[in-house]
Amino acid sequence: MHAMFQKLTECGQSIWYDNVRRDMLGDGSMQALFDEGIVGVTSNPTIFEKAVTGSDDYDEQIRELIGQNQNAWNIYDAITRDDIAKTADLLRPIYDKTDGVDGYVSIEVNPKLAYDMPGTLAEARRLFQTLKRPNVMIKIPGTTEGIPAIEECIATGININVTLIFSADVYEDIMQAYIRGLQRYVDAGNDPSRVASVASFFVSRVDSAIDPLLADKPDGQSLQGKAAIANSKIAYQRYLAVFEGKAFADLKAKGARVQRPLWASTSTKNPSYSPTLYVDTLVGANTVNTAPPATIDAIKTGFDVSSKVTENIDEAKSDLARLEEMGISLAKVTEDLREAGVKSFAASFDQLLAAIESKRTAMAN
């Protein structure tokens, strides 16, 4: 195991890889990452869009599916599920070794269903049932419509990665949905230790949205690069209050797992900031950080590892209060980011289907 991943593990943080590409699954490079200490994988429509349009790795399977008269949607569904299944199989030894703490791969429901509760629920069930692997997580966005779908999934034993969380208040609702779902699962006579969930709290995009708003504020520069970390630290305090408190004690005694905070969108967008800014500041017990390739490389170069997510909480609260005093509404920013995130994933989904349709047309001629 790489020394940096070992140090992070000792602090209670798991590093997952925010990327899937078919060539990595076949040439041993994905397995090499796992050997170094990466213990999970996340995907999203943008990642798959880049993988399929940026390579010819999928052309053979696309050609085969065309021969079966499959449309673009069915081709998309087949190639993404194949990648996820192969990744899950590579991760299975980690899942077994950690007794289901890590070793997961996540696949997202069709982002077009983000505001459709019944559609999200049906798609989540279909994906989990067809993949038939205990170390798959289904990603559902933390929209108003997604939250009841999350509860229903947990209540029937489906592992869920709640995605596109930007607000600590929304995160509170998501934790409660997880607990309600788990309680129903237990009440039905099931073992809660076999259900896992993470809550993906998006980090760097908060700074990307707020930093420009601070540019023309008096003393605004002193808060640049701080809002995202402060927001995440407050979210972690909410996690501690719920899962380390009385509300979860009975379920925990029955073997239930906490819903770990997962720090997502942890690449540094501003080149003047440290490339590990959204990693080293958010290390803590029972957390996950899913990082893209460049951030994984930056982590390996090293930094001082300690559990910083619980440090300087008063400062974090002060930073967020100062934002409000400057007329910047964190609630509005985070809601806008969630809507923009859904639109972005939906656009990637459309582009991917269009690319597959283009290949389908070209190959059919």
Which residue, 208, 195, 197, is CA-closest to 142?
A: 197
Q: Residue 304's Cα: distance from chain center in Å?
A: 25
In angstroms, the CA 212 to CA 357 distance is 38
In angstroms, the CA 195 to CA 136 distance is 11
Which residue, 186, 158, 181, 160, is CA-closest to 253?
A: 186
Residue 215 in 3-state DSSP?
Answer: coil
Name the residues annotated as catalytic. 139
Residues 6+ apart with CB under 8 A from 7: 305
- pTM confidence score: 0.96
* pLDDT, tens only, 21-50: 999 999 999 999 999 999 999 999 999 999
Q: Which residue has the tokens 């289907």?
A: 353
Which residue, 157, 146, 145, is CA-closest to 181?
A: 157
- Report whether 274 contacts 302 (CB < 8 A): no
In angstroms, the CA 307 to CA 12 distance is 8
Residue 251 region by backbone torsions, left for phi larger than 0, else alpha for psi between -120 and 50, else beta: alpha
- Report whether 305 contacts 11 (CB < 8 A): yes
Per-residue pLDDT of the chain (365 residues; tens, 9 = 90+): 999 999 999 999 999 999 999 999 999 999 999 999 999 999 999 999 999 988 899 999 999 999 899 999 999 999 999 999 999 999 999 999 999 999 999 999 999 999 999 999 999 999 999 999 999 999 999 999 999 999 999 999 999 999 999 999 999 999 999 999 999 999 999 999 999 999 999 999 999 999 999 998 999 999 999 999 999 999 999 999 999 989 899 999 999 999 999 999 999 999 999 999 999 999 999 999 999 999 999 999 999 999 999 999 999 999 999 999 999 999 999 999 999 999 999 999 999 999 999 888 888 76
In angstroms, the CA 364 to CA 7 distance is 52
Work out the number of other CB atoms within 10 angstroms of the CB of residue 148. Answer: 16
The amino acid occupying position 52 is: V
Q: Tokens representing 173?
A: 């609702």
Q: Tokens representing 169?
A: 């208040």
**108: β partners:** 139
- Report whether 178 contacts 150 (CB < 8 A): yes
The amino acid occupying position 289 is: N
Q: Tokens representing 211?
A: 């930093």
* Structural domains in the chain, sorted by start: 3-358 (3.20.20.70)
